[in-house]
Amino acid sequence: MKYDINILKNNNLPECVMDFLNYLETIKSKSHNTIDAYRIDLTIFFRFMMIYKGFVKDDKIEFEEIDISNINIDFLRDIKLRDLYAFMSFTEKYRENSAYARARKVATLKSFFKYLQGKAKIIIDNPTIELESPKINKRQPVYLTLDQSLHLLQSLDKNDKNYQRDYCILILFLNCGMRLSELCSIQRDKIRNDTLTIIGKGDKERTVYLNEACLKSINNYLKVRNDLKALPVHKKFLFLSSRNSPINKRTVEIMIKKHITNAGLTDAKYTPHKLRHTAATLMYKYGNVDIRSLQSILGHENISTTQIYTHVDDDTLRDAVKSNPLSKL
C-alpha cells in the first residue's frame, strides 16, 4: 500500500507552524475549527512580521499574497515583545479587530511560542511571557425572551416541506443549548430513550437530556425523515438537507435567519449561537438551574464561560430589592 504523505504538508505555511498545528490535532485533540483559527491567526501574524522586519520589498503586493513559507529558526528567535506589541497595534488600527478578536490572537501567540520553547525546543526565550491580553468588557448575551421563543416556533409554516425538520432543529437549540456543530453531527443511534450523546469541543463526548418537547419533535421529524432516500453512509445522521445529505452549518444558519425574519424578530442579529444563549438564559431564569449544572449542560470547560448567562433583568433586580424584609418600614 502506498501513502501520499505530501497531503499532510502545506507548502504555504512555515514548517514550524505545520508542526504546531499537527501537535494541536494529534496530541491536544483540538477541534478542526480551533485549528483553523490558529492557522489563520498565525498566517496573519507572520505576514505582518515579514513586512515589519523589512523582508517584503514589493510595496504593491497584496497582504494575502505575502509568502511566509521560508520563515526559519533565526527569524523566530529574532521576534521580541516589542514586535508583538506592534502586531497587536496593527490588528486594532488596520484590521479593526475587536478586543475579543485581539485577545484570541494573544492566546494563539502564547500557545504557539510556548510550544516552540517547551516542546519543539526551537527558541530559548519566549517573547509572549509578558504579553498581556486586551481587556474585554463583559457583553450581555443576546437572547430571545420566552414569549419571543414561543412566537418563533409558532410562526413556522406548517405547509413547508421542511417544517418538521426545521421545527425540530429550533426545539433542540432552544431546549438543549447545543452548539451548531454539535447539532449538525447528531447521529440517530446516539439517541437512547431520553438521552442523546454528542461530540462537543475538543472531541469531548457528553450526554444531553431530552425533554418531552425534544422527544416529540424528533419523533415527528423521523416520520418524515424515514421517507427520504439518503445514501447508506448518510442515514446515520439525524438531520438531512434537501439533497438527502447530512445538513451543514451554513444551511442551518440560513434556515434560522429565514425563520427569525419571518417571525419579525429582526431587532438583533439572532444566530444559532444566540439560540444557545436563549436556552441557557431560560434554563437559568425559569428552571432554577445552578451555575455548575448549567456548565455541564452547555459543555463548558471553564465555569467563567458559563457565568455570562447569569445576567438578570431589571425586574429580577427590582423584585430582589422589594423582597428585603426591611422594605416595608
The active-site residue out of 102, 259, 285, 300 is: 300
- In sequence order, what DSSP letters do the residues of 95-112 get, joined into one string? S---HHHHHHHHHHHHHH
57 catalytically annotated: no
Rounded to whole angstroms, the Cα distance separating 208 from 173 reads 12
Residue with cell 425574519: 261
The active-site residue out of 104, 276, 277, 285 is: 276
300 catalytically annotated: yes
Rounded to whole angstroms, the Cα distance separating 173 from 321 reads 33
179 catalytically annotated: yes
- Do 13 and 19 meet the contact criterion of CB atoms below 8 Å apart? no
Rounded to whole angstroms, the Cα distance separating 193 from 210 reads 8
The active-site residue out of 77, 201, 235, 249 is: 201
CA 197 to chain centre: 19
Give phi and psi for 146, each to the nearest 5: -60, -45
- In sequence order, what DSSP letters do the residues of 281-302 get, joined into one string? HHHHHHS---HHHHHHHHT-SS
The active-site residue out of 38, 115, 167, 309 is: 309
Residues near 161 by Cβ (< 8 Å), separated by ≥ 6?
none
The active-site residue out of 190, 249, 273, 311 is: 273
Name the CA dihedral angle for 145, 147, 148, 149, rounded to a multiple of 10 degrees. 80
The active-site residue out of 179, 225, 277, 285 is: 179
C-alpha cell at 158: 406548517
201 catalytically annotated: yes
Give phi and psi for 54, each to the nearest 5: 85, 20
Which residues are the active-site residues?
179, 201, 273, 276, 300, 309
